[in-house]
Chain A
Amino acid sequence: MLETKGRPNRLGLWGWLGGGRWGMERYLYTLHRLTGLGLLAYFLLHIVVTSARAFSPERWKAAMDSVSGLPFEVGEYLVFLAFAFHAANGIRLGIIELGFGVGKPIEPVYPYRTSVDVQRPLAIGALVVAAAIAILGTLSMWGE
């Protein structure tokens, strides 16, 4: 169990990042948050940069030139990968939230069984979908 040092619910960053032995889904949760924060940071900048198209072609070209080059291309690629994972995993979370794919409630009788085992195919399916989207984007962005 994580050490709370006498302050319940104050696990800090380790509370987010440390999945312990809670299984694959716990790490998908961490990755969902990290990719979400990354996508949000990119999106806020994206709003500002792409607003240049409201002014003139010259302003648009200047804005696009200011975010060109290999570091930005790599950054944009990482954003695409984050999108692929966050979207596929988000759909999985939505399906589970609506009560699908979690199995039927059972009595808590030893040896205990967990609903996570029933959900595992969904998690694997989400990762396969994310990988397929990532491959499409990789081929499109770097395949030339």
Chain B
Amino acid sequence: MMKDQKLWTWHLAAGAVIALFLGLHMLTMHVDGLIPIRALNVASDQRAIDWVNVVARGKSTFFALTYVVLLGAALFHGLYGLRNILFELNPSAGLKKVVGAVLLLAGLGLFAFGTWAAVAGHMLARTF
């Protein structure tokens, strides 16, 4: 299998992962007003973004793991999609390499930062 075929397959697989975990994220953050699930937002009388609910979810190792998996899948899916769109503009081979390297570094940097934030947030939540 060629490199781009492999990346495209990963792009589709990442999409499936996102559909699952972003679906859970949206259910937690944006549909809780209509479908309140106490396991997701323990204080149902408060908003999903209020600290009490953030801490309750943050204590959960499951949520910390899903944040990291979702972060990685979404970064790959989004940045690879952006790379494909930019490459369709038919840039020169040199520019393609630069664009690929910039997107790869941006993705790795954001993944490292986001993973740190998820783990640090999990550790902080456990102190409350």
Contacts and interface: CB of A to CB of B under 8 A. Distances in A.
A53 B89 contact: no
Nearest to B8: A97
Given A54-B124, A76-B30, A139-B33, 6 more contacts: A40-B82, A94-B16, A137-B30, A140-B35, A141-B30, A141-B33
Chain B interface extent, by class: 35 or more
A97 B12 contact: yes
Nearest to A76: B30
- Which 3 residue pairs spanning A and B have beta carbons closest together? A54-B120, A51-B117, A140-B34
Chain B interface helix/strand/loop/mixed: helix
A5 B9 CA distance: 34
Nearest to A12: B89
B72 to A, nearest CB: 12
B24 interface: no
A53 B23 contact: no
Interface of B: 12, 15-16, 18-19, 22-23, 26, 30-35, 49, 51, 54, 58, 71, 74-75, 78-79, 81-82, 85, 88-90, 110, 113-114, 116-118, 120-121, 124-125
B22 to A, nearest CB: 7
Contacts of B58: 53
A39 B81 CA distance: 11
Given A54-B117, A57-B51, A47 B71 contact: yes
B53 to A, nearest CB: 11
Contact of B19 (A44, A53, A90, A97): A90
Contacts of B31: 136-137, 140
B22 A87 contact: yes
B78 A53 contact: no
B110 A44 contact: yes
A27 interface: no
A37 interface: yes
A100 interface: no
A65 to B, nearest CB: 11
Contacts of B118: 54
A90 B54 CA distance: 29
Nearest to A54: B120
B124 A53 contact: yes
Contacts of B117: 47, 50-51, 53-54
B85 A47 contact: no
